[in-house]
A and B are shown apart, each in its own frame.
Chain A
């Protein structure tokens, strides 16, 4: 005793990273991290895992006495960081009520302690994650904050919204944003887009989403930006509403935005999943026309879409274009192409593509092998199929449902029941599928063979 426990100190530095109150960063262009960019800035729970929590029980009086004993024996002055980490540690095991009480205890017993935003944010995040239906605890923390003379800012809004959305309480987040916008500060674009994303995910009704956008625009002058439009377009594309997607593209140009590569990719993905190859190509052409440089994802999407709609020749052409533009095709590119070729019946061509890809130093992934195996079995190229299966087995590649079922069927059809059992063993052993689904596929296949035999169809 007499010293601050090390777990407290190390926590202080990792846990309470302050977020910038404004958003000085332009949204990064990397498509995947773009929407989720600020997630890295929130106090992450992962960093807490390896550390020992000094609080053993959620009991309040124990916690108070532990705090008192540290406070009375510590030789160095206790600072804000220390108090914050005490609260953070305690919040991870105790409920909101007790955490607030501990906070008040610290406030009373430490006259030097003047809580700041960061302190209240710990309490707020905890209150938002607590699984009670009302927002009473959240309001309590906010009142506490205002009464202590600390003004909630955009970070406060963000933390509340993020925590609520993460625990699936989008409606509450929606209500809270409106309330906070009226009383304190409207959400910044990151918070706004995060909420929009969750709203899109949760509800089927687009009008609800539009109503939210309208309200925010009218009441608080928060407008959708390019990222917001991308979220919306992605959402309508996923529900196959491409007419609405087109409307949104026009709307965003009217609002003064220029579609970027990521937006085009999203749109193209929409067309490709519906096997609309021509539309996908026209988007590609539009990109070139408007001077938006296509990236690896554009090409992969395009090649995937064309392969899917049976236009493998064109897909191959774009593979060439892609290489000329300086993008190295990856496993996804090749797998899409192989898939297209297998569908067309050019299975051997797909197999030779495997060599080509390995020759270029691109390692095939599980999906590549499964696609090929599926194709080979469908095309009744049993020897090559078994050869590939042995290769996959030696590499420990997991089998996917479709490839597994097709392989079983092909083996059984050729009278190789024992081999089928062996494949079943491998599927179970490698945990490719659950035991139950691996077994039911085997059972179904054997039943099918019996039936076929009775009807004199198979061997």
Chain B
């Protein structure tokens, strides 16, 4: 299985990986949430997801939906309810493509 994984790592082109793990200067809204001024998109997703888990924000009736609290609302476009499906794309909004 290893060569296949290796191949995938190469085909998963480096640019894409770069915009996932590169540290980015954060806008103030996000800075308040994560409590630091720089984070990668991956790190940010992990923070948000673990925040959801530790505060039990998943709707008990439908686990696929998150009931946002005030703090979470502030970074997810002010939505009351967010579907887990859209979570990555919502977070991506804070990480616009950088003009080269």
Contact = CB atoms under 8 A, between A and B. Distances in A.
Interface of A: 367, 370, 400-402, 412, 415-419, 421, 435-437, 439-440, 442-443, 446-447, 449-450
Contact of A436 (B17, B58, B63, B87): B17
Given A418-B64, A439-B42, A446-B88, 5 more contacts: A401-B1, A418-B63, A436-B20, A446-B85, A446-B87
Interface of B: 1, 4-5, 8-9, 12, 16-17, 20-21, 42, 45-46, 49, 58, 63-64, 83-89
A238 to B, nearest CB: 11
Contact of B42 (A415, A419, A436): A436
B84 A421 contact: yes
Contacts of A436: 17, 20-21, 42
Contacts of A435: 42, 46
Contact of B88 (A402, A412, A442): A442
Contacts of B89: 446-447, 450
Contact of B85 (A370, A402, A437, A449): A449
Nearest to A420: B84
A370 B86 CA distance: 28
Nearest to A433: B5
A370 B16 contact: no
A109 B18 CA distance: 59
Contact of A400 (B1, B42, B84): B1
A370 B12 CA distance: 22
A418 B1 contact: no
A439 B89 CA distance: 12
B8 A437 contact: yes
B9 A437 contact: yes
A421 B49 contact: yes
Given A421-B49, A446-B85, A400 B5 contact: yes
Contacts of A446: 85-89
Contacts of A401: 1, 4-5, 8
Contact of B12 (A440, A447, A450): A440
A446 B1 CA distance: 25
A402 B84 contact: no
A418 B64 CA distance: 5
19 contacts: A400-B1, A400-B5, A401-B4, A402-B4, A416-B64, A417-B84, A418-B58, A418-B63, A421-B84, A435-B46, A436-B20, A439-B20, A439-B88, A440-B16, A446-B85, A446-B87, A446-B88, A446-B89, A449-B85
Contacts of B4: 401-402
Interface centre among B42, B46, B85 (most CB of A within 10 A): B85
Contacts of A402: 1, 4
Contacts of A443: 88
Contacts of A447: 88-89
B20 A440 contact: yes
Nearest to B87: A446
A415 B64 contact: yes
